[in-house]
Amino acid sequence: FKEINEAYQVLSDPQKKSAYDQYGYAAFAPGGGFGGAGQGAGQGGFNTYSWSSGGGGGQGVNFDFDFGGFSDPFDIFEMVFGERSPFGQSTRRVPRYVLQLDFMEAVNGVEKQIEIEGKKQKIKIPAGVDNGSEIKFSNFAIVCEVSRHSKLNRRGYDIVSEEEISYSQAALGTVKEIETVEGLVKIRIPSGTQPGTQIRLRGKGVKHVSGHGRGDHYVIIRLKIPTKLNRDQKRLLEELEKT
């Protein structure tokens, strides 16, 4: 427990902890100070932990220290206390990998087979992850990179899409079939709908990653105005304008 006590002394003292964060255990090397000569390889056949810094005018400084067979001083806490140290900081430093997902895979969740360090394994991606979401596993972490959808956009756990309607459909009302994350859904657009109107579909958004609840789907109505009118269409619009 000598190593545990030494690490405790460092982490429980804000000044020492700050020095460790900047210089590692090199800050506490006997005779080394901040940038002094490092000690040689560990004695007694123990493994050493190498720490390097590129600071100091661009010249790297390397130190080797003996931590009683542990490859990293914080591994001591991992062995005794598990994945987290008693000071609330994560002690595990795991590699991070980028995983590409399409829009619907991220929304609905998916099981993927990946290869980590030559080993194939299946992982489950929960429904509701977004671009940049990080999923931590026992010995690695996955960062999600989600592709865009051609019609649907995410706003947190909500979905936003646009639907074009004609002038007559806006005036008279209509029924439109729109795409949602759960498939095609028919919605009724009431008569007199104005451009920019948002129609809310409750519970048709993205599932919360926690598994509790889900967002909504908002359909923004856009008015499609014809650029060319034939003689009859123009006459009808002129008559409508007079009424």
Residues spanned by the domain of 111: 96-146
pLDDT the model gives residue 50: 32
Q: Do 163 and 135 lie in a common domain?
A: no
pLDDT the model gives residue 116: 84
pTM: 0.59
Q: Do 186 and 211 lie in a common domain?
A: yes
The arithmetic mean of pLDDT across residues 68-97, rounded, is 55
- The strand pair at 158-166 and 217-224 is best described as parallel
Distance CA 125, CA 107 (A): 10
CATH number at residue 118: 2.60.260.20
Query: What's the distance, CA 243 to chain centroid?
Result: 56
pLDDT the model gives residue 76: 44
Residue 42 lies in a domain: yes
Supply the mean pLDDT for the chain: 75
Residue corresponding to tokens 């646009």: 162
Q: How many CB atoms lie within 10 A of CB 35?
A: 15
| Highest mean pLDDT (candidates 67-76, 116-125, 195-204) | 195-204
Residue 139 lies in a domain: yes
Residue corresponding to tokens 């598994």: 211
Distance CA 15, CA 10 (A): 8
Q: Using one digit for the tens of pLDDT, what is the confidence trace for 8-38?
A: 666 666 666 555 555 555 555 554 444 444 4
Q: Do 179 and 211 lie in a common domain?
A: yes
pLDDT the model gives residue 5: 61
Q: Using one digit for the tens of pLDDT, what is the confidence trace for 122-133?
A: 999 999 999 999
Residues 6+ apart with CB under 8 A from 208: 128, 157, 214, 215
pLDDT the model gives residue 117: 83
| Highest mean pLDDT (candidates 24-33, 41-50, 65-74, 175-184) | 175-184
